[in-house]
Amino acid sequence: MERKSTHRITLTCLLLMLALATACGHKAEVPDQATAVETQASMFPDYRDIVIPPNIAPLNFQVRDSGATAAVALLQGDNGQEVLAQADRSMTVRIDTSAWRGLLTTCKGKDIRVTVYVQTPAGWVKHRPHTLTVANEDIDPYLSYRLIEPGYELYRQLGIYQRNLTNWDERAVYENNRTYEEEENHCINCHNYRNQSAQDMLFHVRAHHGGTIIVQNGKAHKVQVKDSTILSSAVYPAWHPTQDLVAFSTNKTGQIFHAYHAEKLEVMDEASDMLLYDVSRNEVSHVFRSRDELETFPAWAPSGDRLYYCSAQVGHLIPSETPDSMRGLKLMQCYDSIYYDLKSVPFNPGTRTFGEPRTEVHAAIHRHSITLPRISPDGRYVLYTQGDYGQFHIWHKSSDLWVKNLQTDSCYNLREANSPDTDSFHSWSSNGRWIAFSSRRIDGNYTRVFIAYFDRQGHAHKAFLIPQENPEHNTLLLKSYNVPELTRDAVTISQADLGRCVRGQDGERARYRKHLAPAPAK
């Protein structure tokens, strides 16, 4: 009797497994009968009517029609090629990777028509199709970012990661510590690459094990860019495109927490200057050093003969009798009256000398503030963020992406890519056709990475969230994506080697020079 019961249980389990396998392997089919409606399907992420790279990973999405119990997506190319994908029980549509790649290859420079069929209690509905326009230009396949919890006291569980945008691969470039340990507590920030390539990279370590980590030729070393004449240490970086130089800002930064305000906090500088660091000689000098002007966020022109940066005049905000110990407090009291302009200064790479600065965009006169300039790889545009005040726009809902056309001197808002919430840190793809940037548009709390096409006429197109194998990952991951940087190639140095450099080296102190030596003769 016991043996028969066991056999029945085994048979029942086998039948259940067979039923599940059959259900999972059920071939997607377009419903025979469906009522056509004029509305497009409700989906997350919103991948409707966008321009996409021909090398992007499948745009998996979740159907969010009210009362939906089943869904099928039909993707059709102009040449008649079709891909069919069926939603699972969570109403997630996952597109077969091989079929997706084949479709993008044949539809390069053309449109893909996407029709979503949704089953509701009233029957099947055929939504009005939306379009995926496949651009001719690839996006740089690698995206680096920091994943950070939205906290302000601890550096626990913080890391720099690199995602392959052509598939689902993500690897840790460097992680600090999984649990909080006082003697190991350290922050990592400001990862940066030269010319959209991971061959030359750097990032900073703060608190314990502090210093700047520089990686070249697959090897890492730590330096201390400090001096009695330097405000703090090296902060926001910009690699020179052709020489072994890095422009850094050096900032004395503080935080204000609002008791009652639309913004959660304010990050601001009490003082900031500009530095030029010679990587080969481990020498540093000042580019700008002033008491009443705050210079920050350096960015080189691709030609290497001009340095762009942001600058705020604050002398008029601080009474002349104010002691140094009260300077920061005085600026905090008028935080929303600090406005940054976009400036640039010519640079002679041979003599390593700078000329006279000029104002590129005088935002302060209109009570606006500019941060984070990035010059397009062809040198035609400066992409920047503009907000109502200040320089830490990742916390400002007024922050939008803007560009200046350097050939026509015109400045304009990239309205098609922006949102009512924060749109801030950004980077260019090496061909100048794609922008990756952080935005809080989904929930107002977490920054996530969006991609927008930037066409040859200088116009941005509707931005879309980077694809994930499981679309819900975008909302279930309780971390912010910070400093998205596109590169053509992957970081090759191992996390173990970086860890040994961070924890095992004190870092050689940079030598301060009033003027850096001229470039070595070739």
- Which CATH entry fits the domain spanning 142-509: 3.20.10.10, 2.120.10.30, 3.90.1170.50, 3.20.20.70? 2.120.10.30
- Percent of the chain that is helix, strand, coil (3-state, to 5): 15, 40, 45
Per residue of the chain (522 residues), give pLDDT as tens.
444 444 444 434 433 443 333 344 457 889 999 999 999 999 999 999 999 999 999 999 999 999 999 999 999 998 889 999 999 999 999 999 999 999 999 999 999 999 999 999 999 999 999 999 999 999 999 999 999 987 655 667 789 999 999 999 999 999 987 777 777 788 889 999 999 999 999 999 988 899 999 999 999 999 999 999 999 999 999 999 999 999 999 999 887 777 777 777 788 788 999 999 999 999 999 999 998 999 999 999 999 999 999 999 998 998 888 888 888 888 888 888 999 999 999 999 999 999 999 999 999 999 999 999 999 999 999 999 999 999 888 888 889 999 999 999 999 999 999 999 999 999 999 999 999 999 999 998 899 999 999 999 999 999 999 999 999 998 899 899 999 999 999 999 999 999 999 999 999 999 999 888 888 865
Question: What residue type is assigned to position 514 of the chain?
Answer: K
Quick check: do 35-134 and 142-509 share a fold? Answer: no
**Residue 441: CA count within 13 A, CB half-sphere:** 19
What tokens does 68 get? 């939906």
Cα 313 from chain centroid (whole Å): 28
Asked if 57 contacts 467 with a C-beta cutoff of 8 angstroms, the reply is yes
Q: Is 445 exposed, middle or buried (0-12, 13-18, 19+ CB in 10 A)?
A: exposed
Question: What residue type is assigned to position 447 of the chain?
Answer: T
How many angstroms separate the CA atoms of 508 and 485, rounded? 27
Q: Which helix (H) or strand (E) holds 328?
A: helix 324-333
How much is the pTM? 0.92
In the CATH hierarchy, which top-level class contains the domain 35-134? mainly beta
What are the sequence ranges of the domains in the chain?
35-134, 142-509
Which among 270, 402, 407 has a CA at the least distance from the CA of 341?
402
- DSSP 8-state secondary structure symbol assigned to residue 353: E
Asked if 124 contacts 35 with a C-beta cutoff of 8 angstroms, the reply is yes
Kindly calculate the radius of gyration of the chain based on its CA atoms and give it in whole angstroms: 26
Which among 144, 240, 243 has a CA at the least distance from the CA of 188?
144
Q: Is 481 exposed, middle or buried (0-12, 13-18, 19+ CB in 10 A)?
A: buried
Q: Is the peptide bond before 45 cis (omega within 30 degrees of 0)?
A: yes
Question: What residue type is assigned to position 32 of the chain?
Answer: D
What tokens does 80 get? 């008649």
